[in-house]
Amino acid sequence: MPQAPALPRHVPELAPYRRRVGRLTEPAARAGSRPVGYVVTRVVAHWDTVGPHRSPMHVNPVERLEWRVHFDDARPELYYDDATVRATSALDALRDGHLRLGDRDLHVAWLDDAEADAVWPSLGW
C-alpha cells in the first residue's frame, strides 16, 4: 500500500501572507505618491525531489512564500519563488510595508478582504 504524502511543515510567520493583495505606490517627485501596481502573495507547499529520473520521490514538504508583482504600465510581471531562501528571509521584502525592487522602494498598502476579493480574480493565481 502506498504511503500517504507527508503534510508540509507549517510556517506560522507566513499566515498573514496567505492569498493577499497589496497596492504598490511609489513616492512622486512632488508631494504624495503614485500607484504603480499590485503585489499578490500566496503560501504553497514545496517538496524536494530525490531519486532516479523515471521514478522520483517528493520529500521534505515545507510551506514557502511566493509573490508576484503586476505593474499598471506595460512592464512585465515579476515573480518570486526562491527555494534557496528561508521563509522568514523572503518576508523581509514585505514585512515593513515596503517592497524593494532593485533601486526602487515601493510602499505596500494591503487591501482589506472585500477589496482583495474584488481584485483577486484578475491578478491572483
Residue 26 lies in a domain: yes
Residue 44 lies in a domain: yes
Rounded Cα gap, residues 90 and 92, in angstroms: 6
Residue with cell 497596492: 23
Residue 7 lies in a domain: no
Rounded Cα gap, residues 67 and 43, in angstroms: 9
In terms of residue numbers, what domain contains 73?
12-123
pLDDT tens sequence across 58-114: 888 888 888 899 999 888 888 887 665 555 555 676 777 888 887 888 999 999 989
The answer to whether residue 3 scores a pLDDT higher than 60 is: no
Bridge partners (DSSP) listed for residue 48: 59
Residue with cell 487591501: 111
Residue 5 lies in a domain: no
Residue spans of beta strands (DSSP E) within 28-87: 33-50, 57-71, 78-80
Q: Give the total number of structural domains in the chain.
A: 1
Rounded Cα gap, residues 16 and 94, in angstroms: 11
Residue 59 lies in a domain: yes
Q: pTM value?
A: 0.77
pLDDT tens sequence across 27-64: 876 667 899 999 999 988 888 889 998 999 888 888 88
